[in-house]
Structure 1
Amino acid sequence: MILSDVSVKRPVFATVISLLLIAFGLISFQDLSVRELPDVDPPVVGIRTNYPGANAAVVETRVTQIIESAIAGVPGIKTIESTSSDGRSNITIEFLLSRDIDAASNDVRDRVSRILNNLPEEVEPPEVSKADDDTRPIIWFSLTSPVMDILQLTDYAERNIVDRLSVVDGVAGVRIGGQKRYAIRIHLDRQAMAARRITVQDIETVMRSENVELPAGKIQSINRDTIVRLNREYSRAEDFETMVIKEGDEGGFVRLGDI
Structure 2
Amino acid sequence: IIMRQAIGKIVTVPQTLAFPISPQAIRVSNYNKPVQMVILGTSYEELQKIQTDVIRKLRQNKNLFQIESDYSRNKPEVKLLINKNKTKDLGISTQSIGQTLETLYGGKTVTKFNKLGKEYPIILQQYLDDRKDKESLSKIFVRSENTGSLISLANLVDFKEEGSANKLSRYNRQRAVTISANISESYTLSEAIKYLEKTMSQIAPEKQITWKGKSEELKETSNELYIIFALALLTAYLVMAATFNSFIHPFIIVLTVPLAVFGGLVFILFLNSSINIFSQIALVILIGISTKNSILIVDYSNQLRTAGKNIESAVKEACELRFRPIIMTSLSTMIAMIPLIVGNIGPGAGEGSRLAVGATILGGMIISTFFTLYVTPTMYLALARNTKRIDAVDIELKNQLR
TM range (shorter): under 0.3
Higher Rg of the two aligned structures: 2
The TM-score, its normalising length taken from structure 2, stands at: 0.19
The TM-score, its normalising length taken from structure 1, stands at: 0.27
